[in-house]
Structure 1
């Protein structure tokens, strides 16, 4: 090499330039960085997947509890209905002077039944909402799991690319990693 803007290549310099441009070590460094990024993103996606699965389970449990409470209210409603029917039967068989007392019971049972029915229907609705929320969380969990799987496969492809020194496998690694990130974004936005 010389000064004044004039540059002469020796055979050794030429080989070093060629090696820098086509060096598998450069590929190894790139794949190491890509793998580290994919592993980090995959760990975040995995955490989110676990969190959404746990949340789905909690919501499903809450739905079951509300369903049980609603079933208890419907049993209570049925009990009041049975008492009302017996009071109506007793009223119809009772002497005239006792019918008013039975009618008062019938009216009370009717009022109580309406209150119980409203409470039972509200609990049924709440149970349904919790079930729907659980299903939405499970859908999101599946998206996180798909994203994590795509990233894990991408990391495996990076290892294969490194071992085989195939540049097209590096591009496949990036493509599959991009797909995993896209699925993760869909999970984030509940799509």
Structure 2
């Protein structure tokens, strides 16, 4: 309060606030800023981890679909082979005048099988490529998960720092955060 003679009277609370303001930012403020930054970074890492996992699953689904289509083609190939064998058996026991008909059927099944085999092999190659793409996309996911774990540990240690007022614990949190950020960087490059 101010009197008429420029004399200031402060309460105990006002004095404590002025004293803290003169000291500057305290440990609690540093930890709050640190955890806010890590939480934001963690959200980005988590999003990237989920996105890579989803992309890997899409490639795996594509691989399964192509493998199933290839299997269908191989079954179709076997069906044509069975029919071809029946025609070969029929040609062996048929009269001479029917031999040309059966040979024409055998040649048709032989040609059909060539095209079916090529399609089945192409589908298997597509399945293998989709599997490889899935593995490639999944590799950074493991690093992102490790990164997120270290970031969460850093946030937890920083929170414990505020409760215990142990500044060395804040240093350990910073090391965990640095490790998490390092893993994140290696995952995205």
State the TM-score, normalizing by the size of structure 1.
0.83
Distance in 2, Cα, partners of 1:181 & 1:91: 74
- Map Cα deviations across residues 126-180 of structure 1 (whole Å, 9 max, x no partner): 1111122222333322221111111011000111112222221111111100100
1:140-155 correspondence to structure 2 within 5 Å: 140-155=140-155
Unaligned runs of 5+ in 1: 1-15
Distance in 2, Cα, partners of 1:185 & 1:91: 69
Residue 91 of structure 1 and its aligned partner are, at CA, apart by 1.1
Runs of 4+ in 1 over 3 A off after TM superposition: none
Provide the aligned C-alpha RMSD in A: 1.8
1:47-58 correspondence to structure 2 within 5 Å: 47-58=47-58
Instruction: Give the total of aligned pairs.
Output: 170
Distance in 2, Cα, partners of 1:125 & 1:135: 15
Which position in structure 2 is the counterpart of 1:97? 97
State the TM-score, normalizing by the size of structure 2.
0.84
Distance in 2, Cα, partners of 1:131 & 1:185: 25
Distance in 1, Cα, partners of 2:128 & 2:100: 42
Unaligned runs of 5+ in 2: 1-18
Distance in 2, Cα, partners of 1:173 & 1:136: 31
